[in-house]
A and B are shown apart, each in its own frame.
Chain A
Amino acid sequence: MTEFLRAVAEHGFLQYALIAGVLASIACGVVGSYVAARRITYIAGGIAHSVLGGLGAARYLQVTQGWEWLHPLFGAVIAALLSALIIGMVSLRWRESEDTAISAIWAIGMAAGVLFIARTPGYAENLMSYLFGNILMVTPTSLWLMATLDLLVVALGLLFYKQLVAISFDEEFARMRGINVEAFYLLLLCMTALTVVLLVTVVGLVLVIALLTLPIAIAGHFSRSLRQVMAISAALIAVLTVAGLGVSYNADLPAGATIIVLTGALYLVVIGAASLRSSLRRSRAASATVESGSSR
């Protein structure tokens, strides 16, 4: 661990990686809590995969047209927002076609990305880092972009807390209270899209879904309100990201996958402990009833 800390102090890229991880954690905790509450995990998965189309297209234009300013993250933001709005419109108008829309966006986005990457001159090494993340490649430019997205998403999430909680808990009641349910639903999808982009940088688009769901589920075991879920899960994700970075640096392993495996392991431990505790409590309660029955 001390070795890792010394390396962080020495290397700028490790510092950027840590900052990126912590930035993404905050948005992930806030938005992930809504995603779980509103049950739109599958939509988030679809958006995450469609992002490859945007990354690929932007990279392609950057290389072939010489548009240096077109950072692939811009492409990712546009693709993610577009996917979120298309899925959102379909699910609001034709509820029964929602799954089809998600699947289409999911696969077509990836296919488009693969085609763009195939046509981009140079090595296709970008593909792997898009899919599984390459947090060590974070540049100061992308860090600024990430910070902006993070601030936007977290501010929206906290500003509209009551409304977003209301539409997640009970849509009809929210509607009766004059809340524009459709608008807030679309807003939540756009916030999810931006969060996905942040996470893609850290763990890659295939693994996004794990960070967006598992820490939230863990935090849910210790929370009485969505606000607490947000705080606990954000802290958890930050710790897991930093720990994952440390482990991957020491053992020379891919950072994204290491973070996900750590997250998955923690999830299994917590869920296992929780179910063990509840079954223990149940058997204790059962034996208590037997005792009180026999004493009578």
Chain B
Amino acid sequence: MAIEVRDVTFSYDGQPIVEDVNVTVPLLDLAAIVGPNGGGKTTLLKLMMGLLQPNTGEVRVFGQPPRAVAPRIGYVAQGFSYDRTMPITVLDVALMGRLGRARGRAAGEGKHSAVDALERVGMRDLADQPFAECSAGQQQRVLIARALVTEPDLLMLDEPTSALDVTAEREIYQLLSELNDHTTIVLVTHDLGFVSGVVKSVLCVNRFVRRHPTTEMGELTSEILEDLYGSDLRLVRHDRNEGTWCCRD
């Protein structure tokens, strides 16, 4: 198992955010965490990485406490967790992925892997540009590149495509799909429809958490949406590619 979450409860200011969470993410899974705003998606992701400590229960990543395996986890935070105004180049942001490694001859190698990662997200040409002058979408790609530079066994992404247009979004999911051959991936998203083609399981979070492997279900069903939003919703099917589920209240 890549991630095991056992009996985890986490509350903030006495307010439970997630409760009685029992969920596992198998190795080489590509799991999407979905749910309504304020439902605890980011909280669950941070609990899995050890950035938040559960009030009760425990989390294991690769069989160990998450902090012990932190170097094996690549993390792409949601847009607003970093300083957007700091003078720093795109390449230097990507190079941060080399932090915590042994020094020495690694320096040149590090630059090579950073340039490589920027290439994969289509940002190589802008390597010397100030990060602050990049568009929100470009910044997000750079942050993904930075996570790739860490050469993670587990990649955690918090709404990685929220600032991207449709084409860029598809490219990122294509990239994630390729990485998934040797990397377990967990991502928070609110656009379930778009990821439905590539994800292997869906973690529904609305204070409680349920996992739905997409292979068993064949396709995403209204069951998931009921989990998330209760029964008082209407399903709308968009005919974009194979079909996309949306929900409205």
Contacts and interface: CB of A to CB of B under 8 A. Distances in A.
Given A177-B96, A178-B71, A224-B130, A170 B87 contact: no
Contacts of B83: 37, 39, 168-170
Contact of A223 (B75, B87, B150): B87
A168 B70 contact: no
A128 interface: no
Nearest to A221: B87
Contact of A224 (B71, B82, B89): B89
A217 to B, nearest CB: 11
Contacts of B51: 172, 175-176
Given A165-B88, A224-B89, A225-B88, A176 B82 contact: no
A226 B86 contact: yes
A228 interface: yes
Max chain A CB contacts within 10 Å: which of B77, B86, B97? B86
A166 B86 contact: no
B169 interface: no
B87 A225 contact: yes
A174 B99 CA distance: 8
Contacts of A170: 77, 81-83, 96
Is chain A's interface secondary structure helix, strand, loop, or mixed overall? helix
A173 interface: yes
A264 B207 CA distance: 52
A170 B70 CA distance: 16
Contacts of A173: 75, 77, 82, 96, 146
B78 to A, nearest CB: 10
Contacts of A39: 83
Interface string B127-152: 01010000000000000001000100
Interface string A143-174: 00000000000000000001101101111111
A226 B75 contact: no
Contacts of B92: 165, 225
Interface string B52-88: 0000000000000000001101010100011100111
A26 interface: no
A162 B99 contact: yes
A175 B75 CA distance: 10
B237 to A, nearest CB: 37
B44 interface: no
Contacts of B89: 224-225
Contacts of B130: 224
A229 interface: yes
Contacts of B146: 173
A170 to B, nearest CB: 4
B216 to A, nearest CB: 32
Contacts of A179: 99-100
A63 B25 CA distance: 70
25 contacts: A163-B99, A165-B88, A165-B92, A165-B96, A169-B93, A169-B96, A170-B82, A170-B83, A171-B81, A173-B75, A173-B96, A173-B146, A174-B99, A175-B70, A176-B70, A177-B71, A177-B97, A179-B100, A223-B87, A224-B89, A224-B128, A225-B88, A225-B92, A226-B86, A229-B87
Q: Considering the complex of A and B, which 9 residue pairs feature the smallest CB-CB distances, nearest first?
A: A170-B82, A177-B100, A177-B99, A178-B100, A223-B87, A176-B75, A37-B86, A176-B70, A169-B83
